[in-house]
Chain A
Amino acid sequence: MKYKRNILFIISIIVVFLLYNEPFYNYWFYNRILVPDDHGDIFYQVQHLDKEERREFRFGDSYIFYRDLLNQFKEHNVQNITLLLPPNEYVHKMNFDALIIPEPAVFYYFTGVNAVTKSSPDVRSANWALVAANGKVWMNRLRTRPQLDSLLALYKPYKD
């Protein structure tokens, strides 16, 4: 019986080997499971357990950008912010392809800052705007109604 079990063992190894070498499984297993992801393997990640670092790994550059925005607000002790976010299509047209504009709920999850988009019901409550133009992204305080209207008019043709 032991002999037959050894045969079954060899068959198991051959089947696993064949499955691994089947092109689809091979591609998936090698690229998604076996090879470490962009943020290193488990051994590297064990050395990087800081909560913020893990968030950066997961959410990427856009998250780092928004967290830095929040830090700027904190440094200048700005409160009661409602930030107008530009549409994604507009931001990409301005050649900021890496920057992804999240919906207000997700932006709130990232930063704890209230945000609106051009199609939000309470867009008129915006008192700050994230502006992208001429190769730069900056924060603009919205002091007057025409400032907001001009931005909304600019964003109108673009999709969120």
Chain B
Amino acid sequence: MNFAGLIYILVAHYLAGKGLLKLFGVQLKPVPFFCLCMIAGVPLLSFAPCFVQLLHLPVDTIPVFIAVTVITAAFSIPLWRNFKRPQLPKIVFPALYEWPYLIVCLWFTIFSVWRCFYYPPYSRDMLAGPELLAEFAVREKTMISSVFTVDLSTSNNYFKSPFITGLQIIYKLLVCPFGQLWLSVLFVCFIVWLYNMLRNRLHPILASLLLLIFFAMPELFAYTFLMLYDYSNMIFFFLGFYFLIRYLENKKLNEFAFSAFLFGLATYIRTETLILITLILPLLLFYFYRWKLPVKSMAYNFGIFLLVPIAFYIINIQVFIRFFIPIPFDLSQNINPDLGNISAIFRRLQDINTQLIFTYKGIALYGYFVFLFCAVFITDLIWLRRFNLESRIALYAIMVVYFGLGIIGYLLPLADLQNTTKRGLFKALPLMLLYMANSGVLLRFSAFIKDWEYAKPVQKVQKRK
């Protein structure tokens, strides 16, 4: 393990991410801002090995190190322009009653990070795809390696995004032999970010309880140390929605553009995400119509929202596959030949309910989290019947994921229920958490605990009088 390399790469993630956030003018509190910088910096650096290859340089430690430095420096330009002395944020330690939950969460985190570091990548999709490409790129110092002389007919994973391949090359060369630790960077920062989000809305005791139940989803937790695309994709898709909600609240165009960029990164990680993004358009149309936006501004906003993810899609399909994968790629072969039969959509939606969620297997996959969400939602629906903007859009986003996965299953026969759809459902899970953080029932309960906790005893108040 090269600790100097790890520290360098972490600083590079932070600076690149911070530059990006400055570029978009995103403002957050210090801790979520730091986490978001780290998260945003991860996919930005993944392009470094591709640049090295495009320049016909050997994919080796020094060229990759220089490429990482150049990308970081380029994204840091907004930081140098408005340079301010960094100020350390005030660290607020969790209250005593949060510790029982947080200690368990910390144990989960240590377990996940250690496994990520200790074991080599394991999943078949990786060993026959990005990890194979990265391993031989490092050994042979070129991304167009001897791997392409092997029989690859049993897999199409090498056609997937360069996101993992690039990061694996960087981490293998600069940090540790099995790479993968970038997944822990994403995981830890996302969890801290989520906890801050929950704590801002709910009483800390409820926030930490929800976080613990979110952690205790066996399937989702497994992918915090099993390297695949879905956990990273979930993070960027969720953050895209989070900033979209902020835009719909405050109408700041920079947050709208940043949301589009995050959706673009989600598309860069998994290209099918583009289908889900198109399902967000009705929501935007509804709000633009409500705001009485001129048609020209509406078209401009739609353009921004769609063009960024499409650009990332083109980078994947037209640049990466064309320049780095010397095997013919025919997209049409992956599309369902029987598009007239739309019953496949409904079958997939039914299968999601009957085979993945509302079944014993559903508990084995996602614990009681989805059931808890359903219970909170039904209680809100029956009792309070009031939903704030965040909760409404979170519900819409969950529907986008649910119906989107049905459509993906119908369009792409390779997207099977037990793998693609099962892991695709991850995207709905933090959105469920966002809903619960805005649930009327939980907000009331949270306010009740706060009132009770901070209320002064009656006797003391009377004495003061």
Contact = CB atoms under 8 A, between A and B. Distances in A.
Contacts of A122: 151
A74 interface: no
Contacts of B119: 54, 57-58
Contacts of A1: 453-454
A100 to B, nearest CB: 11
Given A1-B454, A104-B154, A16 B216 contact: no
Interface in A72-112: 102-106, 108-109, 112
Nearest to B208: A12
Interface string B382-413: 00000000000000000000000000000000
A59 B150 CA distance: 21
- Interface majority SS on A: helix, strand, loop or mixed? helix
A108 B120 contact: no
B150 A8 contact: no
A44 to B, nearest CB: 11
Contacts of A153: none
A108 B216 contact: no
Interface stretch (A113-121, A129-137, A139-147): A113-121
Interface bin, chain B: 35 or more
Contact of B127 (A24, A32, A106): A106
B108 interface: yes
A33 B107 contact: yes
Interface stretch (B74-82, B94-102, B238-246, B430-438): B94-102
Nearest to A25: B216
Contacts of B364: 24
Interface of B: 95-101, 104, 107-108, 110-111, 114, 118-120, 122, 124, 127-129, 131-132, 135, 139, 147, 149-155, 177-178, 205, 208-209, 212-213, 216, 218, 363-364, 367-368, 449, 452-454
13 contacts: A4-B452, A5-B96, A8-B96, A11-B97, A15-B209, A16-B101, A19-B216, A28-B367, A33-B107, A45-B118, A103-B155, A109-B128, A119-B153
